[in-house]
Structure 1
Amino acid sequence: MTDDRNNPYLEGLFAPVSEEVTAHDLHVTGRIPEALTGRFLRNGPNPLNIEDPAAHHWFSGEGMVHGVRLRGGRAEWYRNRWVRSDAVAARLGEKGPQGPRHLGMDFAPNTHILSFAGRNLATVEGGALPYELDHELNTLGPYDFRGTLPGGFAAHTTVDPATGELHAVAYCWAYPYVQYLVAGLDGRIRQRVDVPVEGGPMMHDFSLTASYVLLYDLPVVFDMDGASRGDNFPYVWDPARPARLGVLPREGPAEAVRWLGIDPCFVFHPMGAYESADGRTITVHLVRYDKLFDRSSRFGPDEAPPCLEKWTVDLTAGTVRQEQLDDRPVEFPRIDPRRATLEHRFGYGVVQPGDGYGAERSRLHLETPGELLPPDITQVGIGLVKYDLVNGTTQEHRFDPRGDVGEGVFVPSGQGSEEDHGWLLTYVFEPGRDATDLVVLDARDLEAEPVARIHLPVRVPVGFHGNWIPDER
């Protein structure tokens, strides 16, 4: 059953935009670094047509990709485009894209976008295929890795900086296993490992080291009853299900996975993982929730504030030590992509309301009734934080608390530059303009004024993940 109350994920900063926009020669405050030559792309839900707003779940909206093209110190264009599934194309009066489907799923991926083997791929989890986009964000159609993808794909992937290959862990409600997949440089799946997992757990992400894949088998599981009722998001918290971390050798069979017990929790996003020099331990930094989707809210992940933790996996003893590193609510952790699978010193995240921040936002909402922010939503970002994981120090850049800050994506200043020598790129909603800026921050000094603000003509709704896609050299 649903009630007639307003859905907070259809209001304020979360409200979907209704038009596709193309704008050229964007106004810039500051100076765009010449080294930033490419496209900054971000994906997120932007529902086209909602029959029952009270039942709508944030995760179920059709994907829309927002992009800015940078070249020669200029912001050449901004575009936003819905990913065209058959249903989206029909609503827009267009012919649907041609291509394969998995289990008949026709869903416009709404979670991430990446570039691999010369293709831009919008991704989502749960059994659907990625969809390929061209460089101007037009949908080309579903993509199955040249006919080699054995099922659906995953929202999150990792490119191994040592090999350039793409790694993913895919799950689907219909299968009693998860799939560890590796795509070679030719764009074909070259390795598949089916790891048996009962109960249909939601594995939003995974971790990769030089030798291992880490699988997060946690108490959020597929709810068959909810699916039968037609719930838009049929996953729930199962308090009876043990939480465990799987350690799978990258070149090993499914039988080689070791399952290690951990405290009950849920993890959407690891920051990074790496092995010790002697190979006896694995260090993982990640964002942890105490509990999620426990039926207290039908709309989205708003039950408990997430926090940054360090997990130390002792491969000899078979134990996992969990240690909280920060009291701030934080999400969307990222590192320098050149350090994926390797030891890294710096990480970045989005600071969310909480521990005083939420009260500040609520007060601002009451003082300015016309502002966009619903006061009971905590997934909106208010700043970016840089973690020095060696020294235990942080830097933070705060923005207007009435607005929103998206995921910060690190872009190195050059292939051989040091780990934190580069920029953080993020979309920031500016209430004073009633529109969004693409903000460029110096990653070495996050507290400094932005290097550049690229002023978009429209608002970018609160969304999920994206990447910097440099021009091919």
Structure 2
Amino acid sequence: MKLERHPPVVTSLKPSNHPYLNGAWTPLHEEVDAEDLDVIEGTIPHDIDGIYFRNTENQVHQPLGRHHPFDADAMIHQISFQAGRASYRNRFVRTRCFQAEQEAGASLWGGLADPAGTSQRPGYGAHGGLKDNASTDVVVHAGKLLSTFYQCGEAYAIDPQTLEDLGIAPWGPIDGVSAHCKVDEATGELLFFNYSKHPPYMHYGVVGVDGKLKSYIPIPLPGPRLPHDMAFSDRYSILNDLPVFWDPKLLERGVHAVRFFKDMPSRFGVVPRHGGPDDIQWFEAAPCYILHFLNAYEEGDELILDGYFQEDPTPPPLTGSVEGHEHMMAYLDMHSFRSRLHRWRFNLKTGETIEQRLGEDTVEFGMMNARYAGKPYRYAYSVSAKPGWFLFDTFVKHDLQAGTSETVKLPDGVYASEAPFAPRIGAVDEDDGYIVSFLIDENRGTSECVLIDAKNFAAGPVCRIALPHKLSSGTHAVWADRAFIETGRVAA
């Protein structure tokens, strides 16, 4: 392994026993380039050509108050595969807030768990007082990497090859861009939404493969909501109005307290991809919260949507957790909110909704072959997690046609990253490729990259590749074929 280290960032962070500042959540402050990565086990396959990107949470400065893991600064990691070789690099996302805190040498903003007034400067996003850290999601669009914040910050553009800062995406609207923009690899279009505390409370937009805004429309809602994801099919985009949002009475006093309004239905807004506000068709379904969707597609008069149904979106404090963090950890525990793979069928002619549970396992963070996004598909890939810590310890492959699943369980003390699908060069079958993920090994204090052959899933990794340092945990990741990065769309 050939390693080049970059100058360190300014940090004021002190050692801590905080559950989200140590262990697998220990912040990483080192930025490096590494060529010819060492293979621990197996052989790097020659039949993939592309890059895996991972967004992680890395607190740089001492928190002003209580620290929530989603408060931390974004760091993008990439591993590039080509001709049976692998290289790695990582960089902080140089957001406005990151740069301001580097200049100050200290934190300037309070976090999600802090009361109003903690921040020393005006805040950003739908919440109105947070640091825009761009640390939630990462996608590739129009030849650029985009890093985004789940409470609607600015979309930060990054060179996908070098991780060089390219500034703020010029098409971003004043209300920001939520995490979970969707990229249709067939058309090269990016679909996005945002939300806020002022009418109409949500917007939806489309950005072309040329990087220019094509449409941006209001999605009127009854009040402030907390959507986290969206989905799309060939012709439609699907937005949501779920009964989990800030308590309106407390919000009037500046208190952001999330409540589950069990007597309200879940609502799904279906709009033609390039449609207007008058084209929105609303469907009602059982009350729940949905953190992430998997895919959507059209079948006759029906629009089919798959995602993860939370049975208890606002669970009670988690017993046996670290004192002072019981409620926070419950909100980050998929076993507490009991997320299950679920299907909604919306009849576009009758307005009827039919729901179906697709499994009883506790899973989340679903991925699939992105070439089948918006189209009928068979295979999905989820993760399960260690109770209480939001740390993934099991990969799951779902065969949605057969109703079966396969798993790969990691050793105790080893935790995964979100695992997208990387198609083989010349692949014909939907599952002809690899699942790619970074691992954090707390037993050894190291990290590595693993590839799992999706057609021989239960056999586990076909190769394990050493990374130059131990990563911090985080949320989302994405795979992009090199040809898609260069052209902005997948060839038909």
Please indicate the TM-score interval, normalised by the length of the shorter structure. Answer: 0.7 to 0.9
> Counterpart of 1:111?
136
User: What is the aligned-residue RMSD (CA, Å)?
Assistant: 2.8
> Counterpart of 1:333?
366
CA displacement at 1:286 relative to structure 2: 0.8
Query: What secondary structure, in the 3-state scheme, does the structure 1 residue paired with 2:430 have?
Result: coil
Please list, as runs of the form range in 1=range in 2, the aligned pairs for 1:157-306 lying within 5 A after superposition: 157-222=181-246, 235-239=258-262, 241-276=264-299, 278=300, 280-293=301-314, 296=317, 297-298=327-328, 300-302=331-333, 303-306=336-339
Query: In the alignment, which of 86, 94, 97 is matched to residue 84 of structure 1?
Result: 94
Query: What secondary structure, in the 3-state scheme, does the structure 2 residue paired with 1:9 have?
Result: coil
What runs of 5+ residues in structure 2 fail to find an aligned partner?
A: 1-15, 106-123, 318-326, 488-492
CA displacement at 1:401 relative to structure 2: 2.8
> Counterpart of 2:430?
419
Task: Identify if the C-alpha distance between structure 1 residues 17 and 161 changes in structure 2 by more than 3 Å, giving closer, same or farther.
Answer: closer
Task: Identify if the C-alpha distance between structure 1 residues 139 and 8 changes in structure 2 by more than 3 Å, giving closer, same or farther.
Answer: same
* Aligned 8 A contact 1:81 1:137 in 2: yes
- How many correspondences in the alignment? 435
Query: In the alignment, which of 135, 145, 151 is matched to residue 120 of structure 1?
Result: 145
> Counterpart of 2:7?
none
Amino acid at match of 2:61: N
Amino acid at match of 1:336: N
- Rounded Cα–Cα distance in structure 1 between residues aligned with 2:358 and 2:392: 19
> Counterpart of 2:63?
51
- Rounded Cα–Cα distance in structure 2 between residues aligned with 1:178 and 1:213: 14
Deviates more, 1:22-31 or 1:384-393: 22-31
Deviates more, 1:457-466 or 1:186-195: 457-466
Query: What secondary structure, in the 3-state scheme, does the structure 1 residue paired with 2:371 have?
Result: helix
Query: In the alignment, which of 300, 307, 312 is matched to residue 340 of structure 2?
Result: 307
- Rounded Cα–Cα distance in structure 2 between residues aligned with 1:60 and 1:227: 21
Question: What per-residue deviation string (whole Å, max 9, x for no partner) do you get for residues 380-405 of structure 1?
Answer: 11111111111111111111132111
Task: Identify if the C-alpha distance between structure 1 residues 24 and 230 changes in structure 2 by more than 3 Å, giving closer, same or farther.
Answer: farther
CA displacement at 1:138 relative to structure 2: 3.2
CA displacement at 1:56 relative to structure 2: 1.7
> Counterpart of 2:170?
144
Amino acid at match of 2:166: L
Please list, as runs of the form range in 1=range in 2, the aligned pairs for 1:434-453 lying within 5 A after superposition: 434-453=445-464
* Aligned 8 A contact 1:411 1:422 in 2: yes
Deviates more, 1:165-174 or 1:402-411: 165-174
* Aligned 8 A contact 1:86 1:106 in 2: no
Question: What per-residue deviation string (whole Å, max 9, x for no partner) do you get for residues 256-282 of structure 1?
Answer: 222222111110111111111x2x112
* Aligned 8 A contact 2:288 2:311 in 1: yes
CA displacement at 1:459 relative to structure 2: 1.7
Query: In the alignment, which of 394, 403, 424 is matched to residue 383 of structure 1?
Result: 394
- Rounded Cα–Cα distance in structure 1 between residues aligned with 2:252 and 2:35: 47
Task: Identify if the C-alpha distance between structure 1 residues 126 and 144 changes in structure 2 by more than 3 Å, giving closer, same or farther.
Answer: farther
Task: Identify if the C-alpha distance between structure 1 residues 161 and 133 changes in structure 2 by more than 3 Å, giving closer, same or farther.
Answer: closer
Amino acid at match of 1:111: T
TM-score (norm 1): 0.84
Amino acid at match of 2:328: R
CA displacement at 1:245 relative to structure 2: 1.7
Amino acid at match of 1:419: E
Percent identity, aligned pairs only, is: 30
> Counterpart of 1:322?
355
* Aligned 8 A contact 1:26 1:456 in 2: yes
